[in-house]
Structure 1
Amino acid sequence: MGLFWLIGRLILGIYFLMTGFNHLKNYQGMKQACEQKNLPLPGACASLSGLILIIGGLTILTGMFVGIGVLLLVIFLIIAATTFHNYWVFEDPMQKMGEQTQFMKNIALAAALLMLLQIQDWSWTL
């Protein structure tokens, strides 16, 4: 693969790692957010989301079990988009716009990740 592929892979993997660590570091806030969205087992949801993000980031960085990691990330992103960033339920235009932006970001990341499943060579060579 080329240099841009390697740089993009590094950035994407680190993005998911950092996001996952932030979910775990801000566990109480994530748990409260899960409670506000009426998700079952909010503590488990908060922990699981961080772990999925970390595992997904590691699979992208290491090139090991990428298919599993990417599919976990896609499932997580779609669930997060539709449960946390359900912009269509908000009345306030600013809140609606912010949630719509997050919704679209998650859907776009899920789409890009699905395209990564077509990559056959995950080595770090140029």
Structure 2
Amino acid sequence: MEGFWLIGRIIFGIYFLMTGFNHLTNYQGMKQATQQKNVPLAGAAVSGSGLILIFGGLSILTGLYVGIGVLLLVVFLILAAILFHNFWSFEDPMQKMGEENQFMKNIALAAALLMMLQIQDWTWSL
């Protein structure tokens, strides 16, 4: 069972790392999308969220500063769900469905991360 824990951690950590790197490497596109959602300080929000995602992913992968990394990810995911994937404000059914899926994904990831805070044994940590 320890192997499953390690595999899951690696996949989960890499997911957040890749998402964070995408925020930074696709900065202009992410900034435009963030501006369209009327998020204040869009450029800083994109950079900050990218760094939070990278830090959180690394904390899960390494087992270092897990509490801080996970809490930052939870806050980011909930804010992104509410501010960025506000499906209730869309009229177009396809757009509404897509945003609702993204909203629910973010909430589910935040819930999974909160459960990770209960794990006491971060075996295979640095």
- For the aligned pair, the TM-score class normalised by the smaller chain equals over 0.9
The aligned runs of 1:1-126 (5 Å cut-off) are: 2-124=2-124
| Partner-residue secondary structure (3-state), 2:91 | coil
In 1: Cα distance, 2:7 partner to 2:99 partner: 29
Q: Which amino acid aligns with 2:115?
A: M
Which segments of 5 or more consecutive residues in structure 2 lack a partner in the other structure? none
Amino acid at match of 1:122: W
Cα distance, 1:40 vs. partner? 1.2
Task: Give % identity.
Answer: 78
Offset of residue 37 of structure 1:
1.2
Query: Could you report, residue by residue, the CA deviation over 1:79-112 in whole angstroms, capped at 9, with x for unpaired residues?
Result: 0000110000000000000000000000000000
Q: CA deviation at 1:123?
A: 2.3
TM-score (norm 2): 0.96
TM-score by length of 1: 0.96
CA–CA distance in 2 between the matches of 1:36 and 1:109?
24
Code of the aligned partner of 1:58:
L
Give per-residue Cα distances to partners, 1:31-83, cap 9 Å, x unaligned.
11111111111110010110000000000000000000000000000000001
Aligned equivalents of 2:104 and 2:68: distance in 1? 23
Q: Distance in 2 between matches of 1:59 and 1:106?
A: 19
> What root-mean-square deviation, in Å, do the aligned CA atoms of Structure 1 and Structure 2 show?
1.1
- Where do 4+ consecutive residues of structure 1 move more than 3 Å? none
